[in-house]
Structures are given as C-alpha cells and as structure tokens.
C-alpha cells in the first residue's frame, strides 16, 4: 500500500434513527426506543416487539384523545385488535392501514409467546409500517396544522407602531 492511498470510508455507516416532529411524548418515547434498538445490536425479535409497542401506544393515544368519536364507555386500553377496528370504523385509519395493522398485529403476537427467529426483512416491514402509521396519524396532521398557522400569520396585516 502506498502512502498516498485514501480510504473514503473504513466502517460502514450505521443506520440513523428516524426522527419525528409531531409525536405525542409517550409515542415519541416508544418510537425512539424502537429506532435505537433497530440501529443497535438488539436481536430482531426484540426490535420487532419494540415496534409493536409503538403501534400499541400510538393507537391508545389516538383512541384516548378522541373518545367522543366512540360509543360511550368504550375503553381506550382494550385490545389492539379491537382498537384497530374501532379506529378504522371512525376513519382514523384507512381500510388498507387497518388491514396491514391487523397483519402486523397477528405476526408480532408470536414474538410475545415464542423465541422464534425474526429476519431483518421482517423488522424492515414493521419499521416501514410503523413509520407510515405515525406519518398518517401524527406527522401529516401536525404539518397541516403548522402550514395553516403559518398561512394565517402571513395573512395578518402588519401593525406599525
């Protein structure tokens, strides 16, 4: 090797955790944990379980924040299965997100009860779903609200003192 050899990158870059701007605190904590686990050396089965926790916490939050949209006495801490259906029935989830959520819920239920291997592809699938779910439930509404507020501020006449 000559003294003029340059190595542009010796170590592969580690994946970086995704960051979100509009998540409620409890959802943000759960998502940060899942993302940190995905980017670290955590076993895939545990990473997938962390993303399922994010889905659980996120749906509980949306449900609890919108109790008036549901029948009186409906419990926001009920099963994830029921929560997914109720959120879809009230159009908080699209039919395709509902179906995908049920698929993820069914698959990840095994993680709680077994020690079966989970592939990197399976982790990627739940990470992508969780990202889309959070984008739909929190990030998109947050960005729309921010855009409206910005537009309203621009419409206000300037007051000269």
pLDDT at residue 37 in the model: 94
44 vs 124: CA distance, rounded Å:
10
33 vs 108: CA distance, rounded Å:
17
Residue 101 falls within a domain, yes or no?
Answer: yes
Residue 57 falls within a domain, yes or no?
Answer: yes
State the maximum Cα–Cα separation within the chain, in Å, rounded to a whole number. 76
Q: Which domain holds residue 83?
A: 25-137
Q: What total of structural domains would you count in the chain?
A: 1
pTM for the structure as a whole = 0.82
Asked if residues 95 and 88 have their Cβ atoms less than 8 Å apart, the reply is yes
Residue 144 falls within a domain, yes or no?
Answer: no
Q: Which residues of the chain have pLDDT under 70?
A: 1-3, 7-14, 76, 158-161
- Give start and end residues of each alpha helix (H) in 40-137: 44-65, 80-89, 95-113, 120-134
């Amino acid at each position: 090797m000559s003294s003029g050899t340059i190595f542009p990158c010796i170590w592969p870059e580690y994946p970086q955790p995704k960051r979100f701007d509009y998540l409620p605190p409890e959802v943000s904590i759960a998502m940060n944990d899942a993302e940190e686990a995905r980017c670290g050396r955590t076993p895939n089965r545990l990473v997938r379980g962390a993303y399922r926790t994010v889905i659980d916490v996120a749906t509980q939050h949306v449900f609890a924040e919108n109790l008036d949209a549901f029948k009186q006495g409906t419990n926001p801490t009920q099963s994830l299965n029921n929560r997914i259906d109720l959120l879809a029935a009230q159009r908080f989830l699209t039919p395709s997100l509902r179906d995908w959520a049920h698929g993820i819920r069914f698959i990840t239920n095994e993680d709680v009860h077994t020690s079966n291997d989970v592939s990197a592809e399976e982790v990627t699938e739940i990470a992508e779903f969780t990202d889309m779910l959070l984008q739909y439930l929190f990030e998109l509404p947050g960005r729309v609200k921010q855009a409206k507020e910005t537009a309203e501020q621009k419409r206000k006449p300037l007051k000269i003192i």
